[in-house]
Amino acid sequence: MKTLRIVLSASLFAGVGHAVAQDDVSADRRLDPVTVSVTRIEQAVSDLPASVSVLDGARLDLAASYLGASDLTDLATGVEAAIANGTQVAFQIRGIGAVDHQALTPSAAAVYSDGVFLATNVQTGLMLYDLDRVEILKGPQGTLYGRNASSGAVNLISVRPSEDQTRYVRAGVGNFDRYDAAAAFGDTLNDVVSYRIAGNYVSRGPVLDNVSGPAAAGGETDQIGVRGGLLFDLDASDLFLSVHYEEDNGINTMPRNDSLSVGDFEISSEGEGIQGTDNAFYGASAEYTRELGDWTLFSLTAVEGYEQNYGFDFDGTPGPFDTQSLNANLAYDRDYVQVSEELRLTRNTGYGTALYGLALSADEFQQRYAIWCGVLDPQTLIGTCPYVGAPGRVGPTPASAGTAMTLVTDIEQSRETFALFTSHQFDLSEALQVMIGARLTDESIEGEGQGLHVFDDGVVGFNNRDGLGAAIGQNTINETRFSGNMALSYDLPVGMVYASLANGYKSGGFNGEVANNAAHYSDEGLFGAEEVTAWEAGFKSAPNPRYSYSLAAFYLDYNDPQARIFVSFDLPDGSQITSNSLSNLDEAESYGLEAEFSLKPTEALTLNGALTLNETEINQTSNIGGNAALFDGNPLPFAPDTSLTLGGSFAFDLTERISALASLHGKYRSEYFLDAEGLHARSQDGFATVQAALDFGFAGSGVTVSLWGRNLTDEDYAVSGYGFIGYNTFRSEPRTFGASLEYAF
């Protein structure tokens, strides 16, 4: 049946292409041309021998009032997001990507903001504003720019200063006591300098209903961001300087424990874990482009960082199994900074194009992670009751005769990366092109830390679970990897057919969770790199200027997927124990079909849609701790078999002076699992979400009044989960709606 469904879907898209191609096309019924910079060279998306989804125009405008990184997955198929700890967004593309709550875990999908790589999943959760477009590249990458990635890339591209840049002021209101404001202004000062300043502010009350305690446990939003850019148009060169700063001062929503009997969009928390967030994100970059004869030099120098303090009710209940002593709350205190430099040289050659690149980066990460029971004294780090996991970590010779109350884990990690990459396109004929790319990456990761417990008398001791030694140590990961890609494309009268092979990887690292003993810093306590080799074949066509579509088939060979599994640790007497830890499975595979189309049948109506059919399977033969029985044959997490989007916009006139634009977009996802264990209790049933907007424009005034709605189907679904005294999930937001007034000038 699934094969039949795939064939029918492909036939539907291809059949529509032949029907539309026979019609004449008037200028006012043409689709706007779609170009991308995913290759760092402006190209039509129909010319790229790869799967690329571009979100721009009406699709971004539809979500402009509430857009965050996680909302991007509602607008594309084959792309999902696990939102850990309420704010940390990790993208999964075609099922590839670790699902873990740690900020130390790199994302399988490389996320870039205006060309700057965002190295941790904490940075990807920030709000998005004043965007020009979003480009999603599916498949391993690393030979064209930036960092190596095993699943793909997400490029967030903001509006740049220019002579014809938009200027606007917008204010809005919505349910759940929502208030928001946004503005962007810029100008060209002379023939050389242009500037742009953009800002955004959102305030909102709790969106989930806490049935057992303070309403604030349902989450509060208080975010502000500002970005500024200066563009210098110099002789034979351009210089673009950019800075940004964002704050998040709300309250994280508390998770829901699966032992509770609560309704949709309800949680149950006594409120002792409620903590105000104090998160600040900052960055600056300098982008320089210069013509050097036949060559073009590109340089991007950047600094990114954040300071983060937040936490939540870890057990997701007033008291697990009605036992208050099982209560647990946690908090994170993080500091992070990264510095990067990227150089690229490109030129048109007699055979096609050539690119040579160098990427350097260094980052420093520090984190203190505390977990306690009851109400915490911030000075002594002692809760009002002992955390249930603390006494078991005091070891055979406790540092005090008192009761262990709180666990504290400190970790520092530094990462240095050096990479050389190159890509060449060979025009073998007017119709036939070959692209070959390669990347050599050298990476060094150093980590050190300690795991502590605090007694009720104030004494602090090192964790020593199972008597394996004090939980203090350090280790180093050094790795050199070669990756590459190759693509063959052929231009036909009706479109382009292509085939590609790509290889990419995502580096390993240190576990930032509770450090139980000295083994935490041993080689067994680390997680290794994962690697993906992807085959893809596809067809892209634009039969006429008002219709385009693409078809693709893919197969991904996924080696050493990062996941939480059972790991063996050596004991001093030569025996072994097993413990659950972030490590690596043996292998997995992901394969399927994708189709995407855009259509403008009339001047007023634009339609778009996409379908991804994706099968995934874990292949686990090693059986430490029962890993084979637990994981073998399971699907990868956050990889629905089917995801489908369909949307469009319709423009019409209400009067001679009032025009309107109605936009609608929906996405359906079939069932997916929240982790690699494949348990039905840890899965999310299939669901559909719908977004809509209705804009009214008043001729000659620059004024637009907008009505918008998000998750109009009011679906309550899990956005991530973790095991702790049962299973806890973070939940989606309910139906939200609002209105805004915008003045453009």
pLDDT digits over 642-666, tens only?
A: 999 999 999 999 999 999 999 999 9
CATH number where 118 lies: 2.40.170.20
Question: What pairing do the DSSP bridges indicate for beta strands 152-158 and 109-113?
Answer: parallel
Residue 294: exposure state from Cβ atoms within 10 A (0-12, 13-18, ≥19): exposed
Intervals of the chain under pLDDT 50: 1-27
- Give the model's pLDDT for residue 94: 97
Contacts of 165 (CB under 8 A, 6+ apart): 159, 184, 186, 194, 196
CA angle at residue 549 from 548 to 553, to 5 degrees?
Answer: 160
Q: How many CB atoms neighbour CB 301 within 10 A? A: 16
- Separation between Cα atoms, residue 452 and residue 407, nearest integer Å: 6
- pLDDT, position 453: 98
Whole-angstrom distance, CA of residue 582 vs CA of residue 99: 10
- Within 8 A by CB and 6+ apart from 289, the residues are 237, 238, 239, 296, 297, 298, 299
Cα distance between residue 385 and residue 403, in whole Å? 10
Which pLDDT does position 41 carry in this prediction?
59
Task: Name, in order, each residue with C-beta under 8 angstroms of 404's C-beta and a sequence gap of 6 or more.
Answer: 386, 387, 390, 391, 393, 394, 398, 453, 454, 455, 461
Helices (H) and strands (E) counted in the chain, each on its own, are 3, 41
Beta bridge partners of 722: 728
Q: How many Cα atoms are found within 13 Å in the side-chain-facing hemisphere of 335?
A: 4
Of 285, 282, 279, 256, nearest to 269 by C-alpha is 256
Q: Is the dihedral of CA 318, 320, 325, 329 positive or negative?
A: negative
* Total domain count, the chain: 1
Residue 288 has what pLDDT? 98
For residue 172, what pLDDT is reported? Answer: 97
pLDDT reported for residue 39: 52
Calpha distance 295→354 (Å, rounded):
9
Between CA 157 and CA 159 the distance in angstroms is 7
Domain range holding 387?
Answer: 2-744
